[in-house]
A and B are shown apart, each in its own frame.
Chain A
Amino acid sequence: MSTTRQYELIYLTQPDASEEALGELHKQVLAVVDRFSGTIERTENWGRRKLAYEIGHQREATYVLEVINGPGAMTAELDRRLRVFDSVIRHLIVRVDEDLASADRSKTKRKENMAKRRVRRGLPPEPTDAELHRRREESDDFDGIGDGPYRGGGGER
């Protein structure tokens, strides 16, 4: 009995790969996953992207991401298979379940701690909308996740 784990598979194909070729690749992946009685959770086609560096004289590639649940032996087989295809110029399989689980844990822990602290101070466990709004107004250097003041942090040394 093998344990099921979650993996992310990303593969890069030639930029001129047709829809059918991509469909064929997906089918091949699916076949391997099926054989190991795994499941494909979702598939994302990122489309053509510029590469950060040239791979085999190509400057662009089509990226496809597949999130797969299955046993570890499956990855070895996927790896072997993907290496054979000429149209796949690069691929990467990463195990993600542990990292995502630990991220989840720290998130819930942080929430719990916050709720505890707030209750101790005699506040409702969750911040109210009014509070959140005020906090947004007050902070002068941070206006939301993602668009922090760090854009281009490398340059402003």
Chain B
Amino acid sequence: MSDFDGGRGRSGGRDKDKDKGKDEKGGRRTFFRRRRVCKFCVEKIDYISYKDVKLLAPFIPERGKIQPRRISGVCALHQRALQNAIKRARQIALVPYTTD
């Protein structure tokens, strides 16, 4: 599982057709339709700013937790930067710690 994630994070998964093919051949994970691409790699965003709430918002589900990258498909490098940005944004109340 972790091997799989590592391989797909940054370089792999650029092409959604390719992804689909792999899923069908493997015969598992077919229920999991999410395209596994890193948004920041695809859109070539180098600096993840904590001020940009619009950029961070998709990675903060309703509960307010940071979305794990196994779900969002973000690569390790960018997940780390994203995590920093979200934590900073939380400090100045741009983004919630929790919601209930």
Contacts and interface: CB of A to CB of B under 8 A. Distances in A.
B83 to A, nearest CB: 14
Interface string B69-100: 00110000000000000001011111111000
Interface stretch (A17-25, A74-82, A102-110, A116-124): A102-110
B34 interface: yes
Contact of B93 (A53, A104, A145): A53
Nearest to A63: B92
B72 A65 contact: no
Interface residues of B, number: 31
B54 A146 contact: yes
B93 A100 contact: no
Contact of B92 (A90, A148, A153): A90
Interface in B18-56: 34, 39, 42-47, 50-51, 54-55
B47 A103 contact: yes
Interface of A: 10, 12, 49, 51-53, 55, 61, 63, 65, 90-92, 94, 99-100, 102-104, 106-107, 110, 141-142, 145-146, 148, 150-157
Nearest to A94: B88
B58 A153 contact: yes
Contacts of A154: 57-62, 67
A117 to B, nearest CB: 15
Contacts of B42: 142, 148
A53 B96 contact: yes
19 contacts: A10-B92, A51-B93, A52-B93, A53-B96, A90-B93, A92-B92, A103-B47, A107-B44, A110-B44, A142-B43, A145-B45, A148-B39, A154-B60, A154-B61, A154-B62, A154-B67, A155-B61, A156-B34, A157-B34
B59 A94 contact: no
B95 A150 contact: no
Given A10-B92, A55-B93, A153 B59 contact: yes
